[in-house]
Amino acid sequence: MVRIGILGCGFIGKVHAKAFAHIPNAKVVAVADHDSGRAREVAAWLGAEAVAGADDLLRRQDIDMVDVCLPTYLHARHVIAAARAGKHVLCEKPMAMNLEEADAMIEAAERAGIAFMVGHTLRFWPEYVTIWDLIRRGELGRPVALSAARLGTQPMYSWDGWLLDPGRGGGAVPDLHIHDIDYIAWLLGRPKAVVARGRRSANGCWNHVFTTLDYGGGVAAFAEATFLVPPSFPFTMMLRAVCETGTAEFMSRSGVNIEAREGSAKTLTVYRKDGTVLRPDVARQDAYEAELAYFLRCIEDGRRPETTTPADARLSLEIVLAAIRSLETGDVVGM
């Protein structure tokens, strides 16, 4: 049994709390949030205790792991504090606001000898995992072109509007676009160059973006993300992997955000070069439950996470920051 403390009971904190409730070896013992009423609400769901703040939570001896579900600009501070307190740490994506913070987080985790993982959920999302597995097994040949999209309306749920503040959340590129950037990097690794074009909103955030990742040798990936479609537009996720001997395509249209999967219309189809068309079997699992359960198993087994490592999360952040630099300068940014 892994004893858990949750820092942050906002949108993603509640998603994680509900997922923990379905994981047999998870026991949430304490939660903290600046809004004491919200903390009490989440604590009541889980039979946990609502504590006054992060310091109170980190002082507890009955907590093995801390789940950092705070705004992005607070990630580094609290991950480092949790590591120094000897707690294993899961941190919601994006990892940090900049690479200096990311490096400090990695160093603190390594120095403390704790398990540390950033929650890049697509690495546990059933359809994305199925495509990754098909490619890794060589069933579609070498990937030559990836296309991805993530289209949603402007989120209004963040406390004090932090998500749409350039200095605290950064808008669609670091928050939404990073999902597909991380998945592309999971499949193809570090690109040789990044070029991005998009639209900047009045709040200073780039809230619509087209990014091309050049891998050389005729291999490239393209990703689009937006917060600019109206609320009536269904949240859309798309991935197309064109490979040497086949193409896999996933399409999902659902509610107004990535977590609203109920009632979604989704398909995963594989088109082989020999003319056959397949609908692969996809595991019936919740991606958040799978992600959190994996991290808990790593803790119990005394091993570091491998499905997504701190270095992986740092690379995804580095690519996103390169895309922002390209947006701002108009340049192609070398990696």
The catalytic residue positions are 93
- What residues pair up with 209 in beta bridges, in sequence order? 198, 225
The total of other beta-carbon atoms located within 10 Å of residue 328's CB is 11
Residue ranges of the alpha helices (H) in 47-177? 54-59, 75-84, 99-112, 126-136, 172
Q: Cα–Cα distance between 91 and 83 in angstroms, integer?
A: 11
- What residues pair up with 334 in beta bridges, in sequence order? 193
DSSP strands (E only) in 8-87: 26-32, 49-51, 65-68
Nearest to 10 by CA among 156, 125, 154: 156
- For residue 258 the two structure tokens come to 């990535």
- Parallel, antiparallel or unpaired: strands 26-32 and 277-278: unpaired
Nearest to 188 by CA among 161, 226, 148, 159: 148
